[in-house]
Amino acid sequence: MQGARTQLDRFAIGLMVVLCAIWGVQQVTIKVANAGISPLFQGSLRSLGATLLVGLWALGRGVPLGKRDGTLGPGVLVGLLFSVEFGFIYWGLTYTTASRGVIFLYTAPFFVALGAVYLLPHERMHRSQWLGMALAFGGIVALFGENLLRPQEKAWLGDLMLLGGAFFWAATTLTVKASRLSTAAPEKTLLYQLGGSALLLPFLAWGLGEPGVTALTLSVALALAFQVVVVASVSYLAWFWLVRHYPATRLSSFSFLTPVFGVLAAGVLGGEALTPGVWLALGLVAAGIWVANRPG
């Protein structure tokens, strides 16, 4: 693809670190908003609000959203995959704990790497990249793996759902990279995802019996606004721009930073204890990302 790079430069690395920090803080804001809005319905409101913002941004910049460019099919697929991903994640968390779930969810970069073997042959990973991703994943297990050996009723069912969420997360990334969406404007790619999830997530929420909005306090509204403006609009636009211009396998390795940043944000913003294990995990993840992104 014209304009694509085979390595990450300093700009891409810096931007990915910032995005992972934003997505980590999002974990805290989701918990805050959960106090007044049920999870899947919260996701649908986030997608709806971001659809409006990104749509206005695209129209203001003159992005040709209605142009026939062969992206409709993969665009609809991306919206569906994103919605199913959220459904698996939130439904799975009703059976398993968040600390167990995050381990299974962050197998997504491995699914991306495996899919790249068949769908993105120019992005096949070298041995050092596999080693780096395994090292980074080890950091996640070190941080959240304490509960894995504790038997819990039906936890295995939730774990499988989170694994399914990881699969559909990776499938979304691969669909964007391997289809005509890879050459589309980031705004258009994001609108397919946001628009599809804004339509489908309310039905998933209804099907799971969620109550919707239960207590719209100022803190709940601010937490939702952060997700709409900063996460689903600004950060996702930046992410799809990166996916368009850089290798998806190398970008995905940075996603291991997100849960670590989430724990750090919970400590800084929520007053939760930051144990030595947090810093060990951060070190392992950073080392793994460095190994995975060495030229080779």
Of 54, 27, 166, the C-alpha closest to 107 is: 166
Q: Which residues of the chain have pLDDT under 70?
A: 1-4, 146-152, 270, 272, 295-296
Say which amino acid occupies 128.
S
The region that residue 150 occupies, defined by phi over 0 for left and psi between -120 and 50 for alpha, beta otherwise, is beta
* Torsion sign, CA atoms 10, 16, 20, 21: positive
pLDDT score of 118: 84
Measured N-to-C along each axis, helices 257-270 and 276-292 cross at an angle, to the nearest 10 degrees, of 150
Of 21, 25, 27, 29, the C-alpha closest to 257 is: 21
Phi, psi (rounded to 5 degrees) for 37: -140, 125
The pTM of this model reads 0.85
pLDDT score of 151: 60
pLDDT score of 149: 64
Of 257, 183, 232, 226, the C-alpha closest to 16 is: 257
pLDDT score of 2: 42
For 121-164, give the DSSP string: GGGPPPHHHHHHHHHHHHHHHHHHGGGGGS--TTHHHHHHHHHH
Residue pair 161/24 in contact (Cβ under 8 Å)? The answer is no
pLDDT score of 152: 66
Q: Where are the domains of the chain?
A: 10-292
Count of helices and strands (H, E) across the chain: 13, 0
pLDDT tens per residue, range 4-56:
577 889 999 999 999 999 998 887 888 888 889 998 899 999 999 999 999 99
Of 244, 144, 259, 121, the C-alpha closest to 187 is: 244
Residue pair 201/43 in contact (Cβ under 8 Å)? The answer is yes
223-248: b (≥16 Cβ within 10 Å) or e: bbebbbebbbbbbbbbbbbbbbbbbb
What residues are paired with 17 via a beta bridge? none
- Share the mean pLDDT of the chain: 87
Tokens of 55: 């749509």
pLDDT score of 148: 66
Q: What is the DSSP letter of 229?
A: I
